[in-house]
C-alpha cells in the first residue's frame, strides 16, 4: 500500500508538481515505484512533474543521483522516455526530461498509465482487505478523486478547509450542498434496503460502512453557514450570482403574493399573517442583495504560472509573426518549438484551475479575465522595452548629442558673425552636418 509521498502522488486527480529537494536516491526509488507501478484510476490524462535539479543557487538541495533514480525506476515499471510526449491518453506510460530555462530548474514529466473506471472489475490488484482496497470498491458509486468521493470520505476536521479551498464562490458552495444531499439520499436508500432485508453488494456495503450519516448532516450545516456568511456578512458574490439570487427572490415574492391574495380572498387570517411576515423577510433580503457591490470573479488557481508562461510566449509570437514570408534560421525554428509546448501548458493550467461544481459560464468568465490580464501584462512589458530603447537612442545616439552641442555653438557664435555677410552664414549651413558640428564643438572647447 502506498504511503507518504507515493500516496500523495497517487491521490493526484489533476496535473501536479513535486519537488524532490532533500530526497536521497533510495527514498526516491521506493516512492516512484509505489506511485507508478499500478495504473491511476482516472478518466483523463494528467502530468506529474518532479523537480530534480536547479541552477547554481539551488543545486546543493538536490542529490546528484536524483534524476537518475526517477528515470531508472520508471523504466523498471515499464515506462519509456519520449521527448514528444504530451498530456493525452495515448502517452500513458511515457516520461520526458526537461530544463526550464526561465526558472532554471531541471524536471522530469511523467504521464502515468491510467485505467477507465469500469476497467477495475477483474483487475484484482491485491490489498483488497485494507482501506485502499475498499476505496477501490467505491469506484462504481463515486468516481475516484471526484468531489463527491472526497466530500463523502473526508473527516469533519478537514472538511472546512476542503470547502474553503475547493469551493471559493457562493455558487460552488451551493453545488457542494447539492452533492451532499445526493450522497445522503444514496446512503438513505442503502439503509432502507438493509431494513427490508435486502443484501448489499460489496461496493454498496463498503460505502455504507465508511460514510457516516451524522457527518454528512454536519457537513451540510457547515456549507449552509458558509453560504450565509458569504452573502450576508462578507457580501462576496459576483454579479452573475447577484442576478441569480435576485431572480430567486423575485420568484419567491411572486409566489407569496399570489398565496397572500388567495388567503385574503378566503379570509384566512392566520395564513395572511404568516404570509405577510414571510413577504417582509423576502423583501428585506431583496434590499440586502441589491446593496451588495458585486466582486470580480476569483483569479485562476494557477494564474501566476500562466502569466509567467504568457510572458515567455510573447516574444515567440512576435518572432513567428516577423518570420512570415521568409525562411527561418535553424536557431529560430528551435526557439519556436517551445511555443506549442507553452500553449499546451497554459491550457492544462487553465483546465486544472476549474473549481468544484463550477459551471461553464462562470469558468469561461474567469478564463477570459485571466487571458485579458495576460494581454495587459505582456503589453506593459513591450511598452517598457520600447520606452527604454527610445531613451537609449536619445542618450547614446551621436546625432542627438551633436544637435544639442551645435545649437549651443550657434548661440555663442552669433556675436562673432553678426557683422559678417549672409554668405558666410550660408556657407556654414552648407558645410554643416555631424563632422562640422564636431569641429565647431572642438574649437569651442579650445
Burial of 157 (0-12, 13-18, 19+ CB in 10 A): exposed
Q: Is residue 62 part of a domain?
A: yes
Q: Please give the average per-residue pLDDT across 44-55, as a whole number.
A: 91
Contact of 213 with 241, CB cutoff 8 Å: no
One domain for residues 229 and 257: no
Shared domain for 108 and 213, answered yes or no, is no
107-160 pLDDT per residue, tens: 999 999 987 554 444 443 333 333 344 444 444 577 777 888 889 888 888 898
pLDDT band at residue 380, thresholds of 50, 70 and 90?
low
Q: Which of 384, 411, 428 is the last residue of a domain?
A: 384
Element (H, E) at 412: helix 398-417
- Same domain for 205 and 251? no
DSSP output for 365-404:
HHHHHHHHHHHHHHHHHHHHHHHHHHHHHHHH-HHHHHHH
Same-domain status, 136 and 195: yes
Please check whether residue 426 lies inside any domain of the structure.
no
Q: Is the pLDDT of residue 418 over 50?
A: no
Tens digits of per-residue pLDDT, 162-208? 898 889 999 999 999 999 999 999 999 999 999 999 888 888 888 88
- Res 415 pLDDT > 70: no
Domain edge (last residue) among 81, 115, 149: 115
Mean of pLDDT values over 41-68: 88
Instruction: Identify whether 436 is part of a domain.
Output: no
pLDDT band at 391 (very low <50, low <70, confident <90, very high): low
- Is residue 432 over pLDDT 90? no
The domain of 190 spans: 122-236
What span, in angstroms and rounded, lies between the C-alpha atoms of 114 and 41?
Answer: 6
How many domains does the chain divide into? 4
For residue 404, pLDDT beyond 60:
no
Judge if 128 and 227 occupy the same domain. yes
CB 83 within 8 A of CB 95: no
User: What pLDDT shows up at residue 386?
Assistant: 52
- Please provide the average confidence, as pLDDT, over all residues in the chain: 79
pLDDT category at 423 given cuts 50, 70, 90 is very low
What pLDDT score was predicted for residue 408?
41
The predicted structure's pLDDT at residue 8? 83
**Domain assignment present for 318:** yes
Among 88, 115, 142, the domain boundary falls at 115
Q: Are residues 273 and 338 in the same domain?
A: no
Strands 16-19 and 48-54: parallel
Beta bridge partners of residue 48, listed in sequence order: 16, 110
335 within a domain of the structure (yes/no): yes
How confident is the model over 265-284, as a mean pLDDT?
93
Q: Per-residue pLDDT averaged across 274-299, rounded?
A: 93
In a domain, 183, yes or no: yes
**Residue-level length of the chain:** 446
The answer for residues whose C-beta is within 8 angstroms of residue 217's C-beta and 6 or more apart is 184
Same domain, 245 and 232: no
In a domain, 431, yes or no: no
341/210 Cα distance (integer angstroms): 43
- Same domain for 102 and 126, yes or no, is no
Residue 417 inside a domain? The answer is no
Amino acid at each position: 500500500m502506498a504511503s507518504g509521498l507515493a500516496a500523495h502522488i497517487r491521490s493526484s486527480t489533476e496535473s501536479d508538481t513535486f519537488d524532490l529537494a532533500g530526497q536521497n536516491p533510495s527514498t526516491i526509488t521506493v516512492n516512484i515505484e509505489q506511485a507508478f507501478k499500478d495504473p491511476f484510476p482516472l478518466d483523463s490524462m494528467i502530468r506529474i512533474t518532479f523537480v530534480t535539479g536547479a541552477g547554481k543557487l539551488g543545486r546543493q538541495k538536490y542529490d546528484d543521483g536524483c534524476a537518475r533514480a526517477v528515470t531508472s525506476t520508471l523504466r523498471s515499471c515499464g515506462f519509456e522516455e519520449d521527448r514528444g510526449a504530451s498530456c493525452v491518453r495515448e502517452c500513458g506510460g511515457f516520461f520526458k526530461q526537461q530544463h526550464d530555462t526561465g526558472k532554471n530548474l531541471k524536471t522530469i514529466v511523467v504521464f502515468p498509465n491510467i485505467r477507465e473506471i469500469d476497467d477495475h472489475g477483474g483487475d484484482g490488484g491485491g490489498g483488497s482487505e485494507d482501506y485502499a482496497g475498499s476505496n477501490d470498491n467505491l469506484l462504481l458509486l463515486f468516481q475516484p478523486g471526484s468531489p463527491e468521493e472526497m466530500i463523502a470520505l473526508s473527516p469533519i476536521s478537514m472538511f472546512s478547509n476542503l470547502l474553503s479551498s475547493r469551493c471559493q464562490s457562493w455558487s460552488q458552495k451551493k453545488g457542494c450542498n447539492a452533492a451532499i444531499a445526493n450522497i445522503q439520499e444514496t446512503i438513505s436508500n442503502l439503509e432502507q434496503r438493509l431494513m427490508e432485508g435486502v443484501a448489499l453488494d460489496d461496493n454498496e456495503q463498503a460505502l455504507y460502512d465508511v460514510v457516516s450519516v451524522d457527518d454528512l448532516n454536519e457537513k451540510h450545516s457547515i456549507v449552509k453557514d458558509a453560504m450565509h456568511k458569504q452573502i450576508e456578512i462578507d457580501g462576496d458574490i459576483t454579479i452573475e450570482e447577484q442576478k441569480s439570487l435576485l431572480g430567486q427572490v423575485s420568484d419567491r415574492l411572486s409566489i407569496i403574493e399570489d398565496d397572500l391574495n388567495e388567503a385574503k380572498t378566503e379570509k384566512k387570517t392566520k395564513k395572511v399573517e404568516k404570509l405577510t411576515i414571510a413577504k417582509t423577510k423576502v423583501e428585506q433580503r431583496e434590499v440586502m442583495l441589491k446593496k451588495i457591490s458585486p466582486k470580480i470573479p476569483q483569479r485562476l488557481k494557477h494564474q501566476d504560472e500562466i502569466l509567467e508562461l504568457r510572458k515567455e510566449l510573447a516574444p515567440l509570437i512576435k518572432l513567428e509573426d516577423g518570420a512570415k514570408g521568409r525562411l527561418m534560421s535553424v536557431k529560430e525554428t528551435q526557439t519556436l518549438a517551445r511555443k506549442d509546448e507553452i500553449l499546451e501548458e497554459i491550457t492544462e493550467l487553465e483546465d486544472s484551475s476549474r473549481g468544484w461544481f463550477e459551471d461553464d459560464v462562470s469558468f469561461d468568465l474567469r478564463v477570459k479575465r485571466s487571458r485579458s490580464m495576460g494581454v495587459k501584462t505582456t503589453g506593459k512589458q513591450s511598452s517598457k522595452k520600447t520606452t527604454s530603447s527610445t531613451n537609449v537612442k536619445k542618450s547614446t545616439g551621436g546625432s542627438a548629442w551633436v544637435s544639442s552641442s551645435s545649437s549651443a555653438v550657434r548661440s555663442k557664435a552669433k556675436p562673432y558673425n553678426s557683422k559678417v555677410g549672409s554668405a558666410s552664414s550660408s556657407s556654414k549651413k552648407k558645410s554643416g552636418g555631424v563632422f562640422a558640428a564636431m569641429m565647431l564643438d572642438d574649437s569651442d572647447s579650445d
